[in-house]
């Protein structure tokens, strides 16, 4: 904060009282919850998180101290507030890629350009692509994404020298289909999270969590097998030498 707007000790005290009140409201909402997705609990959680964050910031600014609490951010979508029976839909897709093998990318784009020298590079210019895609990753990307559908690139990304990152798909409800060209200047600015009907996320994080779960399960099974073997050995009677 600037010198002209330094918080006071009284503001820290007021923020602490706000946290206490938010804690009481949150506990009250939890005790009266009507189901797993109770909106009152959701609202009380957000109020508590905001109050705790404000208190933490003021405490640090005035006393150079921090709280031991860490309120996790809410990464889930808010409750759906769109029409029950949508008459139109907006599908938003984001897929991230790393250019893992630039030479492979350039070679694939060059192949397309050799077959169609007038192919559009995606930057508003057409023609002459055959002479530039072999050395320009920017132009090569324009050629490939202009030639192939996004789903095909997703299924063949390794052929194009790309490595998959995270991806997500959101299906949002609309009251009616927008006019042609209406949102093309800012295609992703008008999405209302409360109108998202469903979403599908893909990330290596989920694979790692699954692998960890599998490894934990395998360790448990190995431990159980070891115990079973030990039990079986205990049940065996020692052989007595024959005379």
- Which residues are CB-contacts of 48 (< 8 A; sequence separation ≥ 6)? 19, 22, 23, 25, 26, 71
DSSP character for 99?
E
Integer-rounded Cα Rg, in Å, for the chain is 29
Query: Using one digit for the tens of pLDDT, what is the confidence trace for 36-83?
Result: 778 888 889 889 988 998 999 899 999 999 888 766 555 566 778 888
pLDDT of residue 96: 95
Selected residue with higher pLDDT from 123 and 100: 100
CA distances from 49 to 3, 9, 55, 228 (A): 27, 21, 10, 49
Query: Residue 119: pLDDT above 80?
Result: no
CA distance 90 to 197: 10
The Cβ of residue 32 has, within 10 Å, a number of other Cβ atoms equal to 10
Q: Is the model's pTM score more than 0.75? A: no
Task: Please state the rounded mean pLDDT for residues 83-94.
Answer: 91
Q: Which two tokens stand for residue 229?
A: 């073997």
Query: Residue 92: pLDDT above 50?
Result: yes
User: What are residue 94's phi and psi, to 5 degrees?
Assistant: -130, 130
Query: Residue 229: pLDDT above 70?
Result: no
């Amino acid at each position: 904060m600037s010198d002209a707007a330094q918080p006071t000790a009284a503001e820290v005290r007021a923020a602490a009282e706000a946290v206490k009140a938010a804690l009481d409201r949150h506990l009250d909402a939890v005790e009266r919850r009507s189901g797993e997705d109770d909106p009152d609990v959701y609202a009380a959680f957000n109020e508590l998180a905001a109050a705790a964050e404000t208190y933490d910031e003021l405490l640090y600014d005035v006393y150079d101290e921090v709280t031991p609490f860490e309120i996790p951010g809410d990464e889930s979508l808010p409750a759906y507030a769109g029409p029950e029976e949508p008459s139109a839909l907006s599908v938003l897709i984001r897929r991230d890629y790393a250019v893992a093998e630039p030479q492979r990318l350039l070679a694939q784009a060059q192949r397309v350009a050799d077959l169609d020298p007038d192919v559009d590079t995606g930057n508003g210019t057409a023609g002459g692509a055959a002479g530039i895609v072999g050395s320009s990753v920017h132009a090569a990307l324009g050629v490939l994404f202009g030639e192939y559908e996004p789903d095909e690139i997703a299924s063949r990304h390794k052929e194009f020298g790309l490595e998959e990152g995270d991806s997500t798909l959101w299906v949002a409800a609309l009251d009616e289909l927008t006019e042609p060209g209406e949102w093309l200047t800012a295609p992703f600015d008008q999405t209302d999270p409360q109108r998202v009907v469903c979403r599908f996320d893909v990330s290596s994080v989920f694979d790692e969590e699954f692998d960890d779960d599998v490894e934990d399960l395998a360790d448990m099974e190995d431990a159980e097998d070891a115990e079973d073997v030990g039990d079986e050995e205990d049940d065996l009677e020692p052989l007595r030498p024959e005379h």
